[in-house]
A and B are shown apart, each in its own frame.
Chain A
């Protein structure tokens, strides 16, 4: 056996490649972090100087007044999406990862379901919104209201939640499953007590992105939620409901400084809402993962 030392690349060349790779990853990171910072700062810089806490406690009057109705409306819609899309999405993910029978060649089963989920994920949100308007608001006579808004937004984000749940479950170490199986736990028991627990961070992250997307979405809501200056009523249908992105969008297009202030306020509130969601979920995850393998 001859050892071909001269075929090793030169150290300097390897160093160069390593640092070039580093620079590329940093550039990519900048591409993400830069705009994010710029957007958040832009909103903060424009909104904070004119910020009045009374926006949170005053109802809107067209293009002036406060945003109380919109804040409450957005929160109600988000809770609705969390309940509907959260349960449907997580259950779909569990089905795809755990229950769909594997195919003969050993590949993961549930191909049709997965295709359906992918198709749904590829739909433009405005098309979903219009379909919702035609099917729910008009055909079912629900009008602009909370229920169609929640259903359409849920339909939009269920794919995210299902996908992230599925991949989180697939990453659970086989050793946990076999350990549970060998102790004589049923598949359902081991799923609930062992497997889901270790998949939780992935699932929560998916839910979170979905919620943030839903909270920041405008197009489907224009078609389904309508607009109103009053607080949400307790009825699911027949009563329009207001939401923050509506004011971000419409007030920004008004030729009045007053309206622009409201528009920036709405944007700021949305940003804060999403950031709060992020922090809270990280805390929840840290609390449930204190016994996990990666958290020593």
Chain B
């Protein structure tokens, strides 16, 4: 112990070594934290008192019966609800410790860092390549020849490159539904997000496409943090580390996916995960 103390490594050097070993060391462990979050549309209370942490590099599944507020919660996290009529929120959502509603949080940058994939594939009416790079272009992340590189990298990342490399200038609507969803994923990845919000991303897809999307989601962690709404309990079990169960305007229970499915603490959770509800 004494010898260790005698070494003359400066604190700065230690810090830089630690930085290499663990680049995330200085950053908060939880990418997103919600505290006392109440969400309302007009007079209707949708969710109340949601306290939740989303640890970096994990997949969290949001489950619950229809109308329980899963989408509303998800869309709050990148402020997609802000413009919706009657939407009110109390409490806070913090992205790496800073409120997403704070005045020094740039909305466009928030959306770049917290990306979103929708239930129905929604490619833009432009070529396949232009779709992938649309966001990257908008944020000035790449231009000119770099865009080709971005397009190829992201299409490879989602496993779509071989299928589309000869038709990059073709319309995206000639792709299958599953391929369109992968294209939208590539588009979301191209702006370099830290968090991806996915609202029932596979509900419009067949089992095979679903499987490839699920595999992809696993591969995206731990580089990304994912939050996935799903009605498919099998999917929640297969892909997620943690699960949140919403019911009747409340976050009823949350925890490690295995625990929540195998030893639910609440009777409603037990009923839901065993298919006895809804």
Contacts and interface: CB of A to CB of B under 8 A. Distances in A.
Contact of B108 (A176, A184, A193, A289): A184
A197 B171 CA distance: 14
A175 B191 CA distance: 19
A184 B191 CA distance: 9
B73 to A, nearest CB: 15
Contact of B124 (A194, A289, A290, A296): A194
Contact of A181 (B111, B124, B188): B111
Interface stretch (B1-9, B113-121, B220-228): B113-121
Interface string B210-237: 0000000000000000000000000000
Given A179-B184, A183-B111, A296-B173, A197 B138 contact: no
A193 B126 CA distance: 9
A76 interface: no
Contacts of A292: 125, 171, 173
Nearest to B111: A184
Interface in A259-296: 289-293, 295-296
A296 B108 contact: no
Contact of B125 (A182, A189, A197): A197
A187 B134 CA distance: 14
A182 B116 contact: yes
Contacts of A186: 108, 138
Contact of A291 (B108, B135, B138, B172): B172
A183 B109 CA distance: 9
B78 interface: yes
A182 to B, nearest CB: 4
Nearest to A294: B173
B122 interface: yes
Contacts of A289: 125
A183 B118 CA distance: 12
A175 B108 contact: no
Nearest to B115: A182
Contacts of B78: 182
Contacts of B118: 175, 178-179, 182
Nearest to A198: B125
A72 interface: no
B76 interface: no
Contact of B122 (A102, A178, A189, A197): A178
B139 interface: yes
B124 A179 contact: yes
A178 B126 CA distance: 16
A227 interface: no
Nearest to A177: B122
B127 interface: yes
Contact of A175 (B115, B122, B172, B174): B122
B125 A183 contact: no
A: contact size bracket: 20 to 34
A163 B80 CA distance: 29
Nearest to A176: B124
Nearest to A288: B125
Nearest to B85: A106
A295 B171 contact: yes
Contacts of A198: 125
A295 B173 CA distance: 9
A290 B171 contact: yes
B125 A293 contact: yes
A231 interface: no
A184 B138 contact: yes
B187 interface: yes
Contacts of B127: 291
A173 B78 CA distance: 21
A23 interface: no
Contacts of B188: 182-183
A121 interface: no
B135 A185 contact: yes
B85 A291 contact: no
Contacts of B116: 182
B94 to A, nearest CB: 19
Given A179-B124, A184-B138, A291 B171 contact: yes
Given A176-B122, A176-B124, A178-B118, A183 B173 contact: no
Contacts of B110: 184
A194 B125 contact: yes
Contacts of A194: 124-126, 134
Interface string B124-140: 11110010001100110
Given A184-B112, A185-B108, A185-B135, 14 more contacts: A175-B118, A178-B122, A179-B118, A181-B111, A184-B138, A185-B134, A185-B138, A194-B124, A289-B125, A291-B126, A291-B173, A292-B171, A292-B173, A293-B173
Interface of B: 78, 80, 85, 107-112, 115-116, 118, 120, 122-127, 130, 134-135, 138-139, 171-174, 184, 187-188, 191
19 contacts: A178-B122, A179-B184, A180-B134, A181-B80, A182-B80, A182-B115, A183-B111, A183-B112, A184-B109, A184-B135, A185-B135, A185-B138, A186-B138, A189-B138, A193-B138, A197-B126, A291-B125, A291-B127, A296-B173
